[in-house]
Amino acid sequence: MISAVVLTKNSENTIDTLLDDLSFAGEVIIVDDQSTDKTVQKAKIKKARVFSRILGDDFASQRNFGLKQAKGDWVFFVDSDERVDATLREEILQMTKRTDCDGFYLKRKDVLFGKTLEHGETASVRLLRLGRRGRGEWVRSVHEVWNSTGETGELHSPLLHTPHTTASEFITSINRYTTLNAKQLYTEGRKTNVFEIICYPLGKFIQNYVFRLGFLDGTQGAILAIMMSFHSFLTRSKLWLLWAHSTN
C-alpha cells in the first residue's frame, strides 16, 4: 500500500484537486497547521485521515509526524500546491513494485504566473519524496530533506508545482522562508560576511538566468531568477543580523 502525506495550511483552493490526484493511494494523511478555512472540512469529505498539529516553523518535524502515522509500505510526500498527473501516478504504481530501491527522487516543474518553467533554478530540482516506510527521517526545519538509509532511484515524470499566483504572495513567501532559513543556518553555526551578501546573490542570478538558460523562459524566467537572488540576499542579510545581535 502507498500512503500519501500532505502538509496543509489554509489550502482550500487546492486540496480538492490534489486529493483527486491522490486517489490511487491506499490512504491519504493530512497534517494540518490549524487552518482557518475549509481545508479540513474538504479533506474529511474526501475520506483523508486528518491530524491537526501546529507547525511551529519546523517542517521536518511536521513531515516526520506524518511519516509515523503512515501504514503503507511506501510513503509519498506531496505539498498542497502540487499536482500529480496520470503519468506520474502510473509510474509511482509501477516503481513501487521494485525490490532494488528504497526511495525515489522526483523532478518538479514550477508553473509561474501561467507558464511552466523549463529552465533556470527550478529545472534542476530533485526531491526525495517517495520512499519505503522506516527508511530514514526528515531533517532541517526549513528546506527540509528526507535522509534515506537505502538505495534510491529517480522517476521520470515530474510533480507540477504552482507555488505563487501573485507577486505579493511570492514576496511574502520569500520573506517568511528566508527568516526561517537564516535561523536554521544560525543554529548550525554558519556565518556570513558583506562579500558573500553582495556577491552570492549576483552569482546566483547569472548562474540561473544565463548558464541555466532561465532567459529562455521569458519574463517569468527573469522574475524567478531575480526573486531567487533576492532570496539569497535576504537569507544572508538576516543571518548576519542574527550574529550581530548575538554579540550585543
Distance of alpha carbon 131 from the chain centroid = 16
71 lies in the same domain as 142: yes
Number of helical H runs and strand E runs in the chain: 7, 12
For the stretch 219-246, pLDDT in tens is: 999 999 999 999 999 999 999 999 999 9
- The count of structural domains within the chain is 2
24 lies in the same domain as 131: yes
Q: Which of 30, 25, 7 has the alpha carbon at shortest distance from 75? A: 25
140 lies in the same domain as 179: no
pLDDT of residue 159: 96
26 lies in the same domain as 144: yes
123 lies in the same domain as 84: yes
pLDDT of residue 90: 97
Q: What is the CATH number of the domain that holds 90?
A: 3.90.550.10
For the stretch 152-175, pLDDT in tens is: 999 999 999 998 889 999 999 999
How many other β-carbons are positioned within 10 Å of the β-carbon of residue 185? 19
Domain range enclosing 102: 2-161
- End residue of a domain, out of 136, 161, 186: 161
Distance CA 36, CA 230 (A): 30
pLDDT of residue 161: 95
The three cell numbers of residue 145 are 530533506
Distance CA 229, CA 108 (A): 20
pTM of the model: 0.93
107 lies in the same domain as 144: yes
∠ CA 128-214-228, rounded to 5°: 65
134 lies in the same domain as 176: no
- End residue of a domain, out of 161, 196, 226: 161
Distance CA 194, CA 80 (A): 37
Is residue 231 within 8 A of residue 177, CB to CB? The reply is yes
pLDDT of residue 165: 86
**DSSP tag of 114:** T
34 lies in the same domain as 154: yes
Residue 115 phi/psi, 5-degree rounding, is -120, 130
- End residue of a domain, out of 103, 133, 161: 161
153 lies in the same domain as 105: yes
37 lies in the same domain as 125: yes
79 lies in the same domain as 185: no
Residues of the chain under the 50 pLDDT cut: none
111 lies in the same domain as 227: no
Distance CA 28, CA 84 (A): 14
- Which residues touch 169 (CB under 8 Å, ≥6 apart)? none
